[in-house]
Chain A
């Protein structure tokens, strides 16, 4: 095709009306490890799969706190993510300083979407190579947004980005209607099941490679924190109790092992492992 001659300059359309540089940037997001986001009436959560370069290495951070009421999970170029999350933090702080209230989440997402769009229209600049899932809480409740390097942002009930995220999306599409009334523990369980779909054959979720971000009131397994609704990241041993609540892979829907304090899980359909 003519793809190769029209794909070096950001400012050149292809005959099909596409900007290939932007599409290549979207590829960079797809190369990153998976992140899943979902929300209920009371909470919005993010789950991310952390990658490490080897047994001796640490796991790449996938989640960032932006403000008390906003957090993000990233997929793609981590360096670009740091720059954009820094910008988001400045925006959020600036709004608090000027207007004496937390920044509405949709405005915050629009501000990075607009910033990313500039890099798709200026000669000599490359698009950002990272996508975000943004969760936040404002007066209209909990929210989940996706931000992509094309400059597009959308609000979702549930979404996933990164490598093999289509498998997670399939799980989310199957179950999303039940999310709205879920409590926090069930919501996290759904999210973990969705995230597990993105794993390769012999891998599993464990306390080292799983990160959970939460916005909304304190859950049963959490120590009381305040102010209520603050964004927090659970990592390491804090995630263990939620991992335990997952159903075993490739088993018939037998009653799942339930931690003492959690409510009984709803009768789940089979959780399929993708190929």
Chain B
């Protein structure tokens, strides 16, 4: 008697509504000495279809905090709305904006609060800390978080993060003899790395493309240092003599 091949045996199936879906896209954030850059492509897809070529994934929370959300777009958008509401309550109670590391901890508690029906979102929070340093915090869907110098998340994470490890952390490469790797990169270099990351990801990953939105958060007193005339740069700052926030958009390939 032969053992039946398990694949051809009938067995019970359960059909259920799947509350989640993947909407593609990629986000990236890099922290400098006194600035932070947070970027995301603008394509939203489901499977092989494009839902829209422009759906923002990166949002201004305050003049010094920017949140990028990626994964399931409906959860991402709702989560951002709820974070903004919590920040508004903080403003009512304290008459000032929430500091960045406090926002990071808040995001953890909000995500873990839904431990048993999670927000299917990979969050990256970027901005400027109270002490003026650039910061990036990355989260998993249930709130595990860590402060880092750089992080990529989303569809093309596996293409972009290794590139960043090499170009930001200088992994697996030696500095020229007699020199050492810079401990902090200038804004111009970081922006080039971001744009190159996305154009490359667009080449090789179908879910990445259409457009790129880059937010730049600057510490108090720091200028753009010659980058003021960069094409399409728009200031979003609300407060006087505090941190400054800018956004710029670029096209990415639409195929």
Contact = CB atoms under 8 A, between A and B. Distances in A.
Q: Are A and B physically bound partners? A: yes
B238 A226 contact: yes
Interface size class of B (residues with CB under 8 A): under 10
Given A225-B240, A226-B238, A227-B238, A97 B85 contact: yes
Contacts of A224: 240
Nearest to A90: B89
B92 A97 contact: no
Contacts of A189: none
A224 B235 CA distance: 15
Interface string A81-117: 0000000010001000100000000000000000000
A223 interface: yes
A9 B227 CA distance: 71
B85 A93 contact: yes
Contacts of A65: 92
B85 A223 contact: no
B151 to A, nearest CB: 29
Given A65-B92, A89-B92, A97 B240 contact: no
Interface in B23-67: none
Nearest to B88: A93
A227 B236 CA distance: 10
A227 B63 CA distance: 13
B180 to A, nearest CB: 44
A227 B237 CA distance: 10
Interface in B86-127: 88-89, 92
B81 interface: yes
Interface of B: 81, 85, 88-89, 92, 238-240
9 contacts: A89-B88, A89-B92, A93-B85, A93-B88, A97-B85, A223-B240, A225-B238, A225-B239, A227-B238
Interface of A: 65, 89, 93, 97, 223-227
Given A93-B88, A223-B240, A225-B240, 10 more contacts: A65-B92, A89-B88, A89-B89, A89-B92, A93-B85, A97-B81, A97-B85, A225-B238, A225-B239, A226-B238
Q: 6 shortest A-B CB distances, which residue pairs?
A: A223-B240, A226-B238, A93-B85, A89-B92, A93-B88, A97-B81
